[in-house]
Structure 1
């Protein structure tokens, strides 16, 4: 009962978010799209925190902290097709999943709410064996809760990570870091940062590598990519979605975005179909 009340209150809070700050201060134009509910994830996916596409018709999802080391493959309507155990892996705080152009899957075990973890890990799975990318942040300050991470994507042999801040100001910093996609111990390289009135909870890159999307609780942000440089210098759109605890997003072709929330809802919209 208490959980339902908290989700209800959280839903009200998300419904009240706007793109006003990002429009005026960041240059992300407000835009409206017709958002459709496609379906609902299977009950086994109780805290969907990442999303990737497997071919044209299937979704891959993962559970948040404490779940099994499992990828859940579903139809686009959420019907469970199979559970895929990831060998030599454990789920301490899985937050994101993505795939590269060579058939590898990356799972981010880097949830870090208190910014105190010393075992930040990205699992690299090629379909049989699992390797580890372990990393640290070069600028993490003890006592500052600014290096949680729930969002990343792969491109150009690299992984791009977007941090989430738990510090008290309403406008929060999101930092962008890059890692090599090769296993081993690394220090993340900081590329850019941006201040948003939102906590970033998921990320995806468009298949043509000309745009990337960030999702938060209640909003999606789109940024352009110029000369293959991943940064915040080309802000495009802020889209209000207000669909509760949204934590996972993926591109479906060049114009469609699919996202899920931790209440198991599956949603989609097309960026070539705007509302008046």
Structure 2
């Protein structure tokens, strides 16, 4: 009976193109991708790039607007130790953040760079940015990042006080800089994905049931700006967020049985 109810609910949502809470359902991701953990729209393209979480294949995957796979790029020199987020620079290069650390035992982390010119290939050798933690800093679990002024800003996943690391975008090994420590107001504030608008004026941080919009900050002092909380009125394992336009956001969640596995849109205005 529970299965039938869920099936009816799913058919109703898909056929009516309704919203869930404040989120508009754009499409459902193909069944074989159950643990989508990031989302990024590339340069001059409608392709939505995604990856899957720890233990899945070391592939960068491109989806069309219907959630079907149109690109599937194997990263030949990488292992999906714990891939968590994607970001893109102004040249269209895609970066894969391999910095998940659920057990908090990792002390070194990697970011894989896939060049824009290689995004039509079936397999690529990525360039690698490797970083370690600042001195005397305990290992944390990181699940989100974006690139701004040629540096990565990487957020730890904590309910309360979290840290932001800053790592220079250059190939090779680095020691991360401890950029910020901050505590968002409220409860259940674990950050699972992040992005910055193309104009560099708005930062968004994702949680399972909300996002934070940050504006009017000075240079890279992100939390000096105005912080607005947007509640979705819907709770699922949302792991991917990116800007489609300066005001339209794309969000993905993981699939669990008959629930989740969607591409949503959300308007900041």
Range class of TM-score, shorter chain = 0.7 to 0.9
Secondary structure of the corresponding residue to residue 163 of structure 2: strand
1:255 is the counterpart of 2:247: yes
- CA-CA distance at 1:119 after TM superposition: 3.4
Given the two structures, how large is their TM-score scaled by the length of structure 2? 0.81
Query: For the residues of structure 2 that align with 1:135 and 1:244, how far apart are their CA atoms?
Result: 31
Find out whether 1:226 has 2:223 as its counterpart: no
1:77: which partner in 2?
66
Query: Which residue of structure 2 aligns with residue 158 of structure 1?
Result: 151
2: CA distance between counterparts of 1:88 and 1:225?
40
How far does residue 217 in structure 1 lie from its aligned partner after superposition?
1.7
Partner SS, residue 175 of structure 1: strand
Aligned with residue 34 of structure 2, among 10, 29, 46: 46
Q: In the aligned structure 2, how far is the partner of 1:183 from the partner of 1:123?
A: 9
Helix, strand or coil: the match of 1:232?
helix
What SS does the corresponding residue of 1:182 show, helix, strand or coil? coil
Which residue is equivalent to 2:140? 147
Give, in whole Å, the separation in 1 of the partners of 2:129 and 2:58: 16
Q: Which runs of 5+ in 2 are unaligned?
A: 4-20, 119-123, 256-260
CA contact (8 A) 2:218 2:224 kept: no
Q: Is the 8 A contact 1:35 1:268 kept in 2?
A: yes
Measure, in 2, the Cα distance between the counterparts of 1:90 and 1:204. Answer: 24
In 2, Cα distance between equivalents of 1:202 and 1:181: 19
Identify which of 74, 77, 86 aligns with 1:88. 77
* Partner of residue 107, structure 2: 118
User: Which blocks of at least 5 consecutive residues in structure 1 are unaligned?
Assistant: 5-32, 166-170
Q: Secondary structure at the match of 1:191?
A: strand
CA deviation string 1:34-81 (max 9, x = no partner):
420111111222101111003342201100001111111111231221
CA contact (8 A) 1:52 1:61 kept: yes
| RMSD of Structure 2 on Structure 1 (CA) | 1.9
- Cα distance in 2 between the residues matched to 1:87 and 1:43: 24
Which residue of the partner structure matches residue 168 of structure 1? Answer: none
Query: 1:132 corresponds to which residue?
Result: 128
Return the structure number with greater relative CO, CA threshold 8 A, min gap 6. Answer: 1
Match of 2:202 among 208, 211, 224: 211
Q: Show CA shifts across 1:117-139 (max 9, x none).
A: 13311111212541211111215
Count of matched residue positions in the alignment of Structure 1 and Structure 2? 233
- The answer to whether the 8 A contact 1:212-1:225 is kept is no
TM-score calculated relative to the size of structure 1: 0.79
